[in-house]
Amino acid sequence: MCGIAGYIGKKNAAELLLKSIKNLEYRGYDSVGMVTLSEGKISMKKGRGKVSEVDSKVDFSSLPGTMGIAHTRWATHGKPSERNAHPHISASGKIAIVHNGIIENYLELKESLQEYEFKSETDSEILAHLIDKHYSGNLKDAVLKAIAQLNGTYAICVMHQDSRELVVARNGSPLALGIGEGENFIGSDVSAFVEHTKKVIYLEDFQVASIKENSVEIYDGKGNPVSMETKTIDWDVEKAQKQGYKHFMLKEIHEQPQVVRDSISIEIPELEKPRKIFIVACGTAGYAGLTGKYLLEKYTRIPVEVVYASEFRYSDPIICPGDLFIAISQSGETADTLAALRLAKEKGAKTLGIINVQESTIAREAGTVIYTRAGPEIGVASTKAFISQLVVLYKLAEKLSGTEISLTSIPDKIQGILNQEGKIQEIAKKYFRVYNFLYIGRNFNFPIALEGALKLKEISYIHAEGYASGEMKHGPIALVSDEVPTVAIAPRDSVYPKMVSNMQEIKARNGKVISVATEGDSEIPEHSTDTLYIPETREELYPLLTVIPLQLLAYYIADMRECDVDKPRNLAKSVTVE
C-alpha cells in the first residue's frame, strides 16, 4: 500500500515522477505529493485526491530540478488530507521523506522528539524529524541510526537539501531500484520506472542504499557494504496500458482466454506427495485456493485446508514437516500472506508460492515458486490473476495425482462467454440500482459464488453475500424478497437438482433469480428471472467458465453506477500492511 518513487539524473524529475506515481497509483490513491531539489532548495506540492485531480490543481511538472521523490497514499494513520499527504519535511526544512508501511512505535518515538513541531497526524512524519536529529553531514548514516529505532514496516526514500543523493531503506515493504545510464530510479515496484530501464536491484529487508546518478551503494543494517545482483526484468510495457478499453478491469477480463492459453504450458516442478496441504491467501486469491481444495482433494485425496492468511498467522497452526504450505498471491507482497509463509517455514513445512509478480517478496521467500502468467494486472479487482491461479491449481492436481486434466478447450469456451457481453449488459441495466445481492453455488461453484459477490461489492459498493446453496435454509433465505436478487450458479453437474430446488425455494418467496446455466438447458429459465449461459464442460472445470459472466456482471453494474471501477474507494491493489 502506498506507492513511492524517486529519481536522480539529468532529466526533469517532476515530469518523470508524475508518470511514476500514476503507474503506482493502484497501490493507493487518496492523496499524493512530490518534492524536488533545485539549487539547494527543496520545493514541495501535495494534495488530497487522485494523482490527476491533485495535478490539475497544483501542476506537479512545474517543480524544478533533476532529483526528487514522490508518493501516492493509502491512509493508515491520519485521514486523507493535504497535511497528511507525503512527502513530510523535517522541522529544519532540510530533509524530505516518503514512506510506505506502518511505524508501530511512533508514539514512543514522538515522545522523544518533543523539540520538533509535528504538522501531520501520520506515523511517517516522525521519520523526517528522527533522521534530522541524527544528521551530522552524512544522510545514509542518519538513516541507519533512525531505522535502528523503528518497530514496524517501512520502505522509505529520503533526501537532504545539501546532498545530491537519495537514501532508501526497507523492512517488510517492497522497494526496487532501477539502474539507468547516468540516472537511477526508485519505485515500490518496477512499474514506476520500467519505461526507462529494465535493470533492477530488489532491496532486501534492513538494507539501506545511497543512490546518486552514477552510483548505487548498498549497506546492511549495520552499515557494512553489500553487493546485490542486478536483474534484468521481462516486462511488456504495452501490456500495462488500457489498449482502448474503458477500464483496465474490462481489458483484463477480455485477456482471460489468452491468459489460460499461456498458463496451460506452465511447468509444475517435482513435488513430494505431502501428508496434508494448507492453502493460505487473502480475498480473491483465497477463493482460488478454496476452488483448489475441491480440486486437489478430488484428484489426489490429500486433505487440503484453506485458511485466510490473517487467521493462519495468529492461530498457532498445526503444520508440520511433511506438509505442503501453498501461498497464493497476485502481488506477492500481501503482508498477511507473507507472514503466514514465514510462519510455515519456521514450522518446517515445505512452501510453494503461486505468484504473479516476478521477484516479489513472497516469490523470493517461498521454497518453490510457480509464476502465474497473467501479466501485469492493474485493475484493483482481480480477474485474470484469479483465472491463472485456477489453471495452476488444476495443473498441480494433475501433477500430484498423475491424472491428466485437459484444459485445451477452455480458452475458446471463455471467448464464447465474452461474446455474450451485450446480454450481460442488458441484465446489468435491470439490476444496477439494487442495494443487496445474494450469490449461491454448490461444490466446485461455491467458491465462485463467494468470488462473484466479492467482485460486485468491491467495485459497485452494492452489498453482496456469497453462500453455499445448502446453507440458505439455515438463515440467509430470510433475506430473500423481490428487492434482493440471487445469482444462482447452476451448471449441469452432479449437484444440479439441488441447485434447482434452491432456486425454486427462492422464486416461491418472490425472489428474482439470475442464473448461470449450461447452454441448451431449457429447464433453468423456468426457475429464473434472467439466465446467462456458459458452454458445457466437465464438472470440475466449470469454475473456469462460471466466474466469467459474474466478473462482467459486476463490471457493468459498477460502470452503470458510475463507480471508479479500476480504483474502488478505500481499496488498494497491493495490501502491504496488515
- Binding segment toward ligand F6R, per CB under 6 A, in 81-89, 276-284, 479-487, 523-531: 276-284
Q: Is residue 173 near ligand F6R by the rule CB under 6 A? A: no
Beta strands in 300-410 (DSSP E): 304-308, 324-329, 350-355, 368-371
| CB nearer to ligand F6R: pick between 144 and 285 | 285
- Binding segment toward ligand F6R, per CB under 6 A, in 109-117, 185-193, 298-306, 331-339: 331-339
Q: Is residue 24 near ligand F6R by the rule CB under 6 A? A: no
Q: E strand or H helix at 454, and its extent?
A: helix 446-460
Q: Is residue 126 near ligand F6R by the rule CB under 6 A? A: no
| CB nearer to ligand F6R: pick between 296 and 575 | 575
d(Cα 180, Cα 177) in Å, to the nearest integer?
A: 10
Residue 406 Cβ, how far from ligand F6R at the closest point, in Å? 27
Q: Is residue 260 near ligand F6R by the rule CB under 6 A? A: no
| CB nearer to ligand F6R: pick between 296 and 459 | 459
| Catalytic annotation, pick one of 140, 457, 512, 573 | 573
| CB nearer to ligand F6R: pick between 382 and 537 | 382
CA trace torsion 310, 311, 315, 320 (10° rounding)? -80
- Binding segment toward ligand F6R, per CB under 6 A, in 3-11, 100-108, 225-233, 283-291: 283-291
User: Of 3, 283, 441, 543, which lies in the binding site for ligand F6R, with binding defined by CB under 6 A?
Assistant: 283
Q: Is residue 462 near ligand F6R by the rule CB under 6 A? A: no
User: Of 285, 366, 456, 477, which lies in the binding site for ligand F6R, with binding defined by CB under 6 A?
Assistant: 285
Q: Is residue 330 near ligand F6R by the rule CB under 6 A? A: yes
Q: Is residue 334 near ligand F6R by the rule CB under 6 A? A: yes
Q: E strand or H helix at 106, and its extent?
A: helix 106-111
Task: Give me the residue whose beta carbon is nearest to ligand F6R.
Answer: 283
Whether 573 sits among the annotated catalytic residues: the reply is yes
Query: Is 497 in a helix, a strand, or coil?
Result: helix
d(Cα 500, Cα 287) in Å, to the nearest integer?
A: 24
Whether 273 sits among the annotated catalytic residues: the reply is no
| CB nearer to ligand F6R: pick between 337 and 502 | 337
Q: Is residue 575 near ligand F6R by the rule CB under 6 A? A: yes
Q: How many residues bind ligand F6R (CB under 6 A)?
A: 14
Closest CA to 152 of 187, 123, 129: 123
Closest CA to 454 of 341, 539, 571, 326: 571
Residue 374 Cβ, how far from ligand F6R at the closest point, in Å? 10
Count of other CB atoms within 10 angstroms of residue 210:
19
Return the C-alpha cell found at 35.
518534492
d(Cα 561, Cα 546) in Å, to the nearest integer?
A: 24
Closest CA to 68 of 133, 4, 144: 4
| CB nearer to ligand F6R: pick between 174 and 511 | 174
d(Cα 286, Cα 253) in Å, to the nearest integer?
A: 19
| CB nearer to ligand F6R: pick between 187 and 332 | 332
Q: Is residue 188 near ligand F6R by the rule CB under 6 A? A: no
User: Of 31, 72, 120, 331, which lies in the binding site for ligand F6R, with binding defined by CB under 6 A?
Assistant: 331
Q: Is residue 310 near ligand F6R by the rule CB under 6 A? A: no
CB–CB of 92/132 below 8 Å? Answer: yes
Exposed e or buried b per residue across 243-270, where buried means at least 16 C-beta atoms within 10 angstroms of its C-beta: eeeebbbbbbbbbbbbbbbbbbebeeee
User: With 0-12 CB in 10 A as exposed, 13-18 as middle and 19+ as buried, what is 558?
Assistant: buried
Closest CA to 528 of 506, 513, 550, 542: 513
Q: Is residue 165 near ligand F6R by the rule CB under 6 A? A: no
- Binding segment toward ligand F6R, per CB under 6 A, in 188-196, 203-211, 328-336, 341-349: 328-336
Catalytic residues: 2, 573
Binding site for ligand F6R (CB under 6 A): 282-285, 329-331, 334, 337, 381-382, 454, 458, 575
